[in-house]
Chains A and B, each alone.
Chain A
Amino acid sequence: MVKKLRYTNALAVLLTVAGLSAPALAGSEDVVVENAWSRASIGVNRPGAAYMTVRNTGEDAVTLTGLATPLAMMPEIHESKTNSVGVSSMAPAGEITIEPGQSVALEPGGLHAMLMKLQEPMTEGENFPLTLTFSDGGKVTVEVPILGIAARGPEG
């Protein structure tokens, strides 16, 4: 609980800094990223995945256009889908627009931040920064904790 609070505070500071540095932005300064987590990787050859909830607390729609992180050369939002006969597939999700007051969940089996071309292994217990870029030029950076490979959600 304390850990979570501290984390939320850190996030608030980060978001404030992001907001201050770009006061002319319309929309993305009102984006809040919550419950970010990821799974540890085995080595660097397999892609990693990160999950979070992206909430638009503002009054304008925002469009998430891309990701950046020093951890991976090719981070992209992908979406897993399972069709009517149970076959799962995965493809880039493209841009994601979040209406005012709405949120988008990146969660297992759906949207996720796919981390391709890892620069180093994702080690359980560590964190990495992930920057979300929006169409208004705004950026929101979140620290993503790395949980175990078998983690099922932000609580582990």
Chain B
Amino acid sequence: MQRRQLLLYGAAGAGVLGLTLFVGWWRVDGPGAPEPKGQRPLPLSAMEFRLTDHEENEVGPGNLIGRPTMVFFGFTYCPDVCPTTLSDISGWLEELGDEASEMNVVFITVDPERDTVEAMAEYVGYFHPAIRGWTGPEDQISRAVEAFRASYERVPTEGGDYTMNHTASVFLFDAKGELVTMIDYHEPREFAVPKIRRALTEDVEGAT
């Protein structure tokens, strides 16, 4: 009798535990997970910020409309993630060949204190020639990051220096300035180029 009761309790307990885990999964990682707050960038046409490119031209989101666009954030004092992203992108652009010349490719620094126009010019010079480097006053950088629903944060390091945490995803927009998709930092290479091709053709397919 007691044993049967024990079994019953055990089964009920396991059931409750299972249900709790399932509900937890559903709400945290599963289909019930809340959309990360404001994660989708604004269309380029709704963004407002003024920056300077590495050739000292005044630039803003308006300059990007009319051609498909790839945008990413970083800083030139970044030893690992940023050169990796820039060399990955250079590789994708090489793979796209002539198609790449139809795109805007913009690297926006999150560290304007150290990334002056000259610093950006020198840095982007080592990568694919299509890559433009944008910098500017802190408040404009902050507006740009906010418009992309990205984030950045200055983090002090030992020895009085600092590093920047920042969104490492690559944003892809069509020629009308609407977000097509994003390429995550750890996404396999073979997914990236097809995604870029989608951004390149979206304005044609998407025209209704």
Chain A interface (Cβ < 8 Å from any Cβ of B): 39, 42, 45-49, 74, 78, 80, 82, 84-90, 92, 108-109, 112, 114-117, 148-152
Contact = CB atoms under 8 A, between A and B. Distances in A.
Given A109-B81, A152-B88, A152-B91, 17 more contacts: A42-B122, A42-B126, A46-B76, A49-B80, A49-B83, A82-B185, A85-B39, A85-B151, A87-B166, A88-B165, A90-B80, A90-B163, A90-B165, A109-B84, A112-B80, A150-B87, A150-B127
Interface string B164-192: 01111100000000000010111000000
Interface of B: 36, 39, 76-77, 79-81, 83-84, 86-88, 90-91, 122-123, 126-127, 150-151, 155, 157-159, 161, 163, 165-169, 182, 184-186
Contacts of A150: 83, 86-87, 90, 126-127
A149 B80 CA distance: 11
A78 B151 CA distance: 21
A114 B79 contact: yes
A78 B80 contact: yes
A84 B81 CA distance: 16
A48 B81 CA distance: 12
A151 B87 contact: yes
Given A49-B80, A109-B81, A114-B80, A82 B126 contact: no
Contacts of A89: 155, 165
A48 to B, nearest CB: 6
A93 B90 CA distance: 29
Given A42-B122, A86-B167, A149 B83 contact: yes
A116 B161 contact: yes
A104 to B, nearest CB: 16
B76 A42 contact: yes
24 contacts: A46-B77, A47-B77, A48-B79, A49-B83, A82-B81, A82-B168, A82-B185, A85-B39, A85-B151, A85-B167, A86-B169, A87-B151, A87-B168, A88-B168, A109-B80, A112-B79, A112-B80, A116-B159, A117-B159, A148-B126, A149-B83, A150-B83, A150-B90, A150-B126
B166 A88 contact: yes
A34 to B, nearest CB: 19
